[in-house]
Structure 1
Amino acid sequence: MGKKHRIFLLRVGKYGLLLLAVFLAITFLLDYLRISRYEILPVRPEKEINLQINELYYQLANGEEAVDWEQLEGGLEYIRNEYDCADFRLVNLIRILYEGGDRIPDSYRKQTQEVLFDFRYWWDEPGENSMCYWSENHQILFASAEYLIGQKYPDRIFSNSGLTGRQHVNKARERILDWLEMRWNYGFTEFYSGTYYVEDIAALVNLIDFARDEAVVIKSKMILDLLFYDMASQSSQMLFVSTSGRAYEGNRKGNRSSTLGRLINYFWGAGEDPGPGMTYGLVKSSNYTIPAVFFEIAKDSSVQVIKQSNGLDISELDSEGFGGTDNRSMMMQWGMEAFTNPEVIRNSLHHIRKYRMFSNDFLADFQTLDFSLLKWLRLEPLVSRILKPQSDGVAIQKGNTYTYRTSDYSLFTAQGYHPGTYGDQQHVFGMNIRNHFSIFHTHPALEKGVPNQSPNYWVGYGRIPHSVQDENVNLSLYALPEKKGWMEMDLLGYTHAYFPMNEFDSVLVEGSYAFGKKGETYCALIGAEPFQVPEGTRDNLVQNGKRTYWITEAGAAATDDSFAAFVQRIRSNPIVFDRETLSLTYQSNGKRYALVFGQDFVVDGKVVDTNYRRYDSPYVQGDRKDQTRTFEFNDKSLFLDFEGLVREVRD
């Protein structure tokens, strides 16, 4: 190659690099200008709106003649503006339309129809807003509403979508059947959620009562059955608190509101009317009756071990057919609240771009990734892996749950649930002190008083422990990093427990031991470091240190004699902890428990298999995707054949 030729190539290369740099700079600038113009729409109204649709339905359902129809106005305004949770307001509005539509005054009927016809029922329809469409409960709420409103007005053209009501029915039916099948095969992603099961019930009961499609009605009944089995098997004397995919402070502490919208007390307790609410349709439904076998399970006072698998891990999405960007796959991915995880982040961005969702306040942070270069070079997963955003902890993955239930207490754990990762609303471990209250420990994501819905001081985790359980004993290891992640809100150097000392009959906190007695129930907490009770509190045990453990052992007068004997026995139990290797052994009542962070749980020298079947309990056995399931207890049973549409109740 001649000298002139080489010089020419060098000049071409130089100018080529310059042109490439100019192109990239212009592309970046254009992207920046485009992104800076994105508008973020409001999640909630600036001024509080008086919402009384639930109260209006309650009055109509109970036969009140003189009702004030002005109670519709606030709800209609809320729905018209498509504020988040507008789908909640649709639940009882639909019941009013179907059960008392002829009573609606003409002026309010016209307003209602205008609002319903102009509503954006799913993310693929015209318009933009900040409604959350994607979590598991919202998915079925939106689909149920779209189906039933379309069925009510089959020949009307809906002004926002341009579709007829009949077309909306067909569109929503597909999503409903997909959602129901996912729950049948894998269970609830938001497993054992005292908050979000309420929304599922509301949507399913409306379909059961008003849908004119046999498959939709029968399958909705079956999934509602599965939900009530969860409630029955995980409740402690009607207190519905357990390990959970999504739990808030009250759901973890087990106060008196932890009865699933007062439904448990109504159906299985004193029968007190629960009052106005989203689930009041269940109280009035003549098409669904809770099978008696679940009442028998709920009141079972014998000692039982209940194992269950709920949901999917992100690593299973591809193999289970949910790895794409089709509607069904995105329902699974976003139903798991998986957005920024490396495996799904490109799917999330594709979906947000396709359906104009950068204006949605919940998704607005994705604007910072809407650069063409990242998309062209497929760099989003790499960015996610490097940054490790705390939003990865929003993803709710498979919960292999273990519940040890007695007449005196229940102890529950999501076995080995992704130790060391962020946790937004997960509740990995806790203990119900009969039906009085619960105790649990956590690594707080933020200091007390720092405002954030989740995670915070009592909700979710900064970092999730490696938590395992065998019968009445739980071992939990915390391994907190030395430095917080680039996008982590905070990294506190302690863990703490909710331990409401004023609620116990007797309490002893001394060194790294804490004991409580309530009635005939005993509990013990053991830590690697001495417990501290912050000044001005009586419900908080703090353990300093980034590499620590919590051992929880439950007991009762029936098995441990006196409380003093229980305390003495626990104090004498051998414990060996290696902070460097994060290995823990504990011996109690003739058993030896061993756990190393991130490794197997070993009891008496045998590795414990914590990857459970879909159902493994005295009441039901079965695997994922079984076509049939049978629940049996005390001569009561329920047989379900999902695809065969057979539901047989024996009371």
Structure 2
Amino acid sequence: MKVPVVGMLYPIFLGLAIHSASVNAQSFDESAYQDRQLQYIEEGVSSTNDTAVVLQAYTGDELNWEALNKNLDVLRNGGKKNSDFTLTRLIRILFFRPEIKDELFAALDGYQFWFKEGGTGDHVFASENHMIMYTSAQYLLQEKYGAFEDDRTYKRLKRYLEVKNQYGFYEFYSPVYYPYTLSALLNLVDFSEDAEIRELATGAAQRLLQDILLVTNDQGILFSAAGRSNDGYRRNGSGGNINRIIYLLTGLGKESVRTPSPAGVMLATSGLEITDEIFKYFGKDLNMNYSVGHSLGDAKNDIYADFPREERVPFYWSQGAYFHPDVAADTAWFVSKYQLEGYEGLKAFDQFLGLSEAAAPAAAKAGAVFSRSSVLSGANFSMYKDGGVMMHSIQNYWGGRQGYQQTPWIATTGTQSVWAKVGDGNSTMQNDHHPKIKQVNNVAVIQYNPYPAIELFHSGGSNVALQWPEGFEEEKRSGNWKFGKEDDGYIAVRYPCGNGDSNTVSCDWNEQTWVVIMGSEERYGSFEAFSQKVLNEVSYDADWEWHGSFWKGTLKYVYDSDVKFDGTDISLTW
């Protein structure tokens, strides 16, 4: 595998158009950043919050042993589910305050850092954020103390970091998991004795921070199309763990983001170099298409091909490739070897568990609408950002197939978000099926058309429900259009069917086309002028049509949507 140049490789931009707005442009002020770090530490060090122990360890203050023991309890007796979140924090405390070593090592007695035949338990090792938390912790303990040694750890860690530098993150733009991935990277940046590991971790951390600011608007609000997210972050882009990161970097955010959080205490106490490159796409008006990631084929044939099978499979899983037909045999072999029937990390694929290595690929092909779309790779994005107004979407991503925590599109006028939810939206399968999207400039055409198997498996699987917030200053509805205004930002959404007066406009058609248009006072004048322009000038048509030539053998019956507005002409076929 080619080793990347650290810290210099960022998303590949296609058809790139970046428009800088000098009035909004943000540049990095190192002195102000350091002041915010100090203020964050000073205001949070006396907190009884369990995460504030990190700040106490950093400053040399007396440790809150009640809070510290709560952290240690999470690791005891083999560790609770998701205990790696806490482990990452305790590693940082240990390196600031080595006197806790005996207590930490006692709590880690019998703890697992990786898959073990017959004994994995509830640990979820192989998603991207979990992999770096477990692996970085074990590596640092090996490097510093010669403890919990495993000769696979260094190789796994190095390859993980190389891939992030070269291709970016599989859990792209995840407001839920990016902060935890960052926390593990910061431990490596600040404490690893190996210069190459430090350099690779630095590049990965800087790239992750650039990702965060790319999908953050000029109010410090983050709403993004994402590889892994949930409804809470889709509705609220201002008060989460990730907003502490945004606050420390930019100074933006409400008062609550100055309080200790799992990621905030890590970045506040880190010596990671914050570069101008991290701010490359922040505070600017953007209109661009770009790609990140790599294919599953590249993962199998190149990136992880030199690793033994028991190491390759978790990397496939970290990419979301669990029972994709191309890796189903590997997964079946791994499940059998490590006795993972009933394993928490595979609960979304329980219908495939127990299959033999020979039978798994055929079953995965038969269930392709469910088995393929968990893969997080090779995503093409469109971003439109105009001050606080922002729309972000994944283009042509697993259309009609099962959704697994991905957010295919979302729009915001500043602090209010608009998006769509398909089906019951439980915690594992956030959308029963994905749309096909084409976003050009400030206009997005979004088609929903589930595969027949989706309809059979999910009761009412076609139902698409627009999520419309209650916080708009002004609203308007006309025909099949809904309009919302917040400050100087506007949004218009055309829904194909349903009750437009509801904040959850639900449409149950098998094929349906939604249109989203973003606007601002600077571009369109008043809210009334924007809404009238949309109503008067949008050309819209969506129907089944014959395309191609019978004589040339290219004739197809396709679902076609054509939308024109303000110089933007979009044609999208299914």
Per the shorter chain, which TM-score range?
0.7 to 0.9
Contact 2:348 2:428 in 1 (8 A): no
**Distance in 2 (alpha carbons) for counterparts of 1:368 and 1:520:** 49
Alignment-mate amino acid for residue 362 of structure 1: G
User: What residue in structure 2 maps to residue 88 of structure 1?
Assistant: 85
**Distance in 2 (alpha carbons) for counterparts of 1:407 and 1:127:** 51
Contact 2:433 2:461 in 1 (8 A): no
Q: How does 1:171-186 map to 2 (within 5 A)?
A: 171-186=152-167
Give secondary structure in 2 for the equivalent of 1:555. strand
**Distance in 1 (alpha carbons) for counterparts of 2:351 and 2:466:** 37
Q: How does 1:596-611 map to 2 (within 5 A)?
A: 596-597=573-574
- Larger mean Cα displacement after TM superposition, 363-372 or 582-591: 363-372
Contact 2:170 2:293 in 1 (8 A): yes
Give secondary structure in 2 for the equivalent of 1:566. helix
Q: 2:266 aligns with which of 265, 281, 301?
A: 281
CA deviation map 1:254-284 (0-9, x unaligned): 4322571412112211596341424412211
Instruction: Flag structure 1 segments of 5+ consecutive residues without an equivalent.
Output: 1-50, 159-166, 598-651
User: What residue in structure 2 maps to residue 587 of structure 1?
Assistant: 564
Alignment-mate amino acid for residue 401 of structure 2: T
Q: How does 1:509-528 map to 2 (within 5 A)?
A: 509-528=477-496
User: What residue in structure 1 maps to residue 427 of structure 2?
Assistant: 453
Q: 2:340 aligns with which of 352, 357, 360?
A: 357
Shift of 1:53: 5.0
**Distance in 1 (alpha carbons) for counterparts of 2:192 and 2:96:** 13
Shift of 1:321: 4.3
Shift of 1:85: 0.9
**Normalising by the residue count of structure 2, what TM-score does the alignment of the two structures yield?**
0.82
Contact 1:341 1:392 in 2 (8 A): yes
CA deviation map 1:298-325 (0-9, x unaligned): 223xx32233322234354444444686
User: What residue in structure 2 maps to residue 60 of structure 1?
Assistant: 57
CA deviation map 1:360-414 (0-9, x unaligned): 3333687876768x44xx2221122224474654332321111111124111111
Contact 1:446 1:490 in 2 (8 A): no
Give secondary structure in 2 for the equivalent of 1:281. helix
**Normalising by the residue count of structure 1, what TM-score does the alignment of the two structures yield?**
0.73
Give secondary structure in 2 for the equivalent of 1:267. helix
C-alpha change, 1:224 and 1:347, in structure 2 (3 Å) is same
Q: 2:465 aligns with which of 496, 511, 515?
A: 496
Shift of 1:210: 0.8
Contact 2:401 2:451 in 1 (8 A): no
C-alpha change, 1:56 and 1:527, in structure 2 (3 Å) is same
Q: 2:420 aligns with which of 424, 441, 453?
A: 441
Shift of 1:113: 1.4
C-alpha change, 1:227 and 1:553, in structure 2 (3 Å) is same
Q: How does 1:183-194 map to 2 (within 5 A)?
A: 183-194=164-175
C-alpha change, 1:587 and 1:403, in structure 2 (3 Å) is same
- Larger mean Cα displacement after TM superposition, 211-220 or 237-246: 237-246
User: What residue in structure 2 maps to residue 634 of structure 1?
Assistant: none
- Larger mean Cα displacement after TM superposition, 180-189 or 135-144: 180-189
Shift of 1:99: 0.9
**Distance in 2 (alpha carbons) for counterparts of 1:370 and 1:430:** 34
CA deviation map 1:493-529 (0-9, x unaligned): 42121111x3111111233111111111111111222
C-alpha change, 1:340 and 1:125, in structure 2 (3 Å) is closer
Alignment-mate amino acid for residue 530 of structure 2: F
C-alpha change, 1:388 and 1:312, in structure 2 (3 Å) is same
CA deviation map 1:460-488 (0-9, x unaligned): 311111111111010011113456466x3
**Distance in 2 (alpha carbons) for counterparts of 1:381 and 1:424:** 20
Contact 1:408 1:521 in 2 (8 A): yes
**Distance in 2 (alpha carbons) for counterparts of 1:365 and 1:553:** 34
User: What residue in structure 2 maps to residue 291 of structure 1?
Assistant: 275
CA deviation map 1:603-632 (0-9, x unaligned): xxxxxxxxxxxxxxxxxxxxxxxxxxxxxx
Shift of 1:187: 1.2
Give secondary structure in 2 for the equivalent of 1:121. coil
User: What residue in structure 2 maps to residue 627 of structure 1?
Assistant: none
C-alpha change, 1:512 and 1:483, in structure 2 (3 Å) is farther
Give secondary structure in 1 for the equivalent of 2:541. strand
Q: How does 1:552-631 map to 2 (within 5 A)?
A: 552-572=516-536, 573-579=538-544, 581-597=558-574
Alignment-mate amino acid for residue 528 of structure 2: A
Shift of 1:82: 2.4
**Distance in 2 (alpha carbons) for counterparts of 1:348 and 1:325:** 14
Instruction: Flag structure 2 segments of 5+ consecutive residues without an equivalent.
Output: 1-47, 546-557
Contact 1:187 1:309 in 2 (8 A): no
CA deviation map 1:169-202 (0-9, x unaligned): x532211110011112221100111111101111
Q: How does 1:264-279 map to 2 (within 5 A)?
A: 264-269=246-251, 273-279=258-264
**Distance in 2 (alpha carbons) for counterparts of 1:392 and 1:491:** 21
Contact 1:342 1:384 in 2 (8 A): yes
**Distance in 1 (alpha carbons) for counterparts of 2:152 and 2:84:** 17
User: What residue in structure 1 maps to residue 69 of structure 2?
Assistant: 73
Shift of 1:241: 1.7
C-alpha change, 1:209 and 1:321, in structure 2 (3 Å) is closer
Q: 1:100 aligns with which of 92, 97, 109?
A: 97
In the alignment, structure 1 residue 220 sits paired with structure 2 residue 201: yes
In the alignment, structure 1 residue 120 sits paired with structure 2 residue 100: no
C-alpha change, 1:274 and 1:334, in structure 2 (3 Å) is same
Give secondary structure in 2 for the equivalent of 1:441. strand
Contact 2:51 2:260 in 1 (8 A): no
C-alpha change, 1:405 and 1:366, in structure 2 (3 Å) is closer
Contact 1:311 1:398 in 2 (8 A): yes
- Larger mean Cα displacement after TM superposition, 354-363 or 416-425: 354-363
**Distance in 2 (alpha carbons) for counterparts of 1:316 and 1:576:** 39
Q: How does 1:110-509 map to 2 (within 5 A)?
A: 110-124=102-116, 127-154=119-146, 158=148, 167-168=149-150, 170-237=151-218, 238-258=220-240, 260-269=242-251, 273-285=258-270, 287-295=271-279, 297-300=281-284, 303-322=285-304, 326-358=309-341, 360-363=343-346, 374-375=356-357, 378-388=358-368, 390=370, 392-434=372-414, 436-442=415-421, 444-446=422-424, 452-455=426-429, 460-481=430-451, 484=454, 488-500=457-469, 502-509=470-477
Shift of 1:560: 1.1
Shift of 1:552: 0.6
Shift of 1:78: 2.2
User: What residue in structure 1 maps to residue 5 of structure 2?
Assistant: none
In the alignment, structure 1 residue 549 sits paired with structure 2 residue 531: no
C-alpha change, 1:515 and 1:389, in structure 2 (3 Å) is closer
**Distance in 1 (alpha carbons) for counterparts of 2:359 and 2:176:** 37
Shift of 1:555: 1.0
Shift of 1:533: 4.1
Give secondary structure in 2 for the equivalent of 1:260. helix
